[in-house]
């Protein structure tokens, strides 16, 4: 199937800091003068998790989705401790590279820890969103977190399972297990107390890894935080309910969001494709496999071409994913 003639402003770039490299997938907006969005995914997860959220937010500003060192086929850092502070250093390097003073930072899962750590250092960032933050200190053991993850995963789609499994394979079990203890030890409830930014915390109704009581403690500890829940959502809310996350994010930075609320599933869920056929399905799968193989081979040009191909196919299948105001 030939590629669409529609222009697609997607670029893959790289930022190096102290020998560690972060892949940045940049989605250009038609309104580039607006504040940029910087998206940070969770443990072992790739920027591909933001396949619906990134183009939706790009209606308001440029989007920069990060693949941190060791994740999504990126080279693992040598001689460095893969702590939350280390990953926060890499995010700061991205902000400095692009000259961002006040971007909107969005972190999911472990990414919420990383964003929190960045915010403790950067008082110039006025707004941030923590989606499905972890780890609940009352259950900060590998076994308990594994149980909670499995409970939440039963509510996820097969599509999300494929994205997650491929990302974990690219990360590799050894590196995943190197990072995990740092995630379990990070005390986000304590660190969030040092954040001056206006925060929005979002969780899914069925996200057992990020429970309501944990959010209550986070909001109580933060100087300025709102909390919202999306019905029908689980941990991977940034993909399956990307429309809701985008709506809440934009209302948050516009100052139009209540301090607490609950969004209905039908107002938040990513809509079904408007067009689907065997060619589109095959093309999307082939583009993803091409991206994974290119990442394993350290072929960054191939990664970029595969991402562009996949984004074009999504645009054909879904059109422009619209959010109501």
Domains for the chain: give ranges and CATH numbers. 10-273 (3.40.50.1820)
* pLDDT band at 221; cut points 50, 70, 90: very high
Alpha-carbon distances of 92 from 114, 115, 145, rounded to whole Å:
10, 10, 28
In this model, does residue 325 exceed pLDDT 70?
A: no
**Tens digits of per-residue pLDDT, 41-88?**
999 888 999 999 999 999 999 999 999 999 999 999 988 999 999 999
* pLDDT band at 321; cut points 50, 70, 90: low
**Tens digits of per-residue pLDDT, 93-140?**
999 999 999 999 999 999 999 999 999 999 999 999 999 999 999 898
- How much is the mean pLDDT over the chain? 91
Query: What does the block give as tokens for 318?
Result: 């879904």
Higher pLDDT, 273 or 76: 76
Query: What does the block give as tokens for 93?
Result: 């390097």
pTM tops 0.85: yes
Q: Where does the chain show beta strands of DSSP type E?
A: 10-17, 20-27, 37-40, 63-67, 104-108, 127-131, 198-204, 225-230, 260-263
pLDDT of residue 166: 81
> 10 Å Cβ neighbour count for 77?
20
Alpha-carbon span 177 to 294, nearest angstrom: 24
* pLDDT band at 324; cut points 50, 70, 90: very low
* pLDDT band at 5; cut points 50, 70, 90: very low
What percent of the chain stands above pLDDT 90? 73
- Tell me the average pLDDT across 181-197: 97
Alpha-carbon span 137 to 185, nearest angstrom: 8
Among all chains, which residue has been given the structure tokens 């999911």? 108
């Amino acid at each position: 199937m030939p590629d669409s003639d529609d222009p697609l402003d997607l670029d893959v770039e790289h930022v190096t800091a102290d020998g560690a490299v972060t892949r940045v997938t940049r989605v250009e907006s038609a309104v580039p003068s607006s504040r940029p969005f910087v998206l940070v995914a969770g443990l072992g997860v790739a920027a591909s998790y933001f396949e619906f959220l990134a183009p939706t937010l790009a209606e308001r500003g440029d989007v920069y989705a990060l693949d941190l060192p060791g994740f999504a086929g990126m080279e693992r850092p040598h001689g460095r401790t893969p702590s939350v502070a280390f990953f926060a250093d890499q995010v700061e390097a991205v902000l400095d590279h692009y000259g961002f003073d006040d971007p909107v930072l969005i972190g999911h899962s472990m990414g919420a820890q990383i964003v929190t750590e960045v915010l403790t250092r950067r008082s110039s960032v006025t707004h941030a969103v923590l989606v499905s933050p972890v780890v609940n200190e009352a259950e900060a053991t590998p076994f308990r977190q594994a149980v909670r993850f499995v409970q939440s995963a039963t509510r996820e789609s097969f599509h999300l399972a494929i994205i997650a499994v491929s990302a974990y394979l690219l990360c590799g079990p050894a590196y995943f297990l190197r990072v995990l203890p740092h995630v379990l030890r990070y005390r986000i409830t304590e660190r969030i107390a040092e954040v001056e930014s206006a925060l929005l915390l979002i969780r899914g109704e069925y996200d057992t890894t990020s429970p309501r009581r944990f959010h209550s403690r986070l909001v109580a500890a933060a100087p300025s935080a709102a909390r919202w829940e999306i019905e029908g959502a689980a941990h991977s809310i940034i993909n399956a309910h990307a429309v809701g996350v985008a709506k809440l994010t934009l209302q948050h930075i516009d100052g139009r969001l209540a301090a607490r609320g609950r969004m209905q599933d039908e107002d938040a869920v990513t809509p079904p494709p408007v067009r689907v056929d065997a060619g589109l399905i095959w093309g999307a799968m082939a583009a993803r496999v091409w991206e994974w193989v290119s990442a394993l081979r350290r072929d960054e040009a191939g990664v970029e071409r595969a991402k562009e191909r996949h984004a074009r196919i999504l645009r054909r299948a879904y059109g422009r994913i619209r959010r109501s105001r």
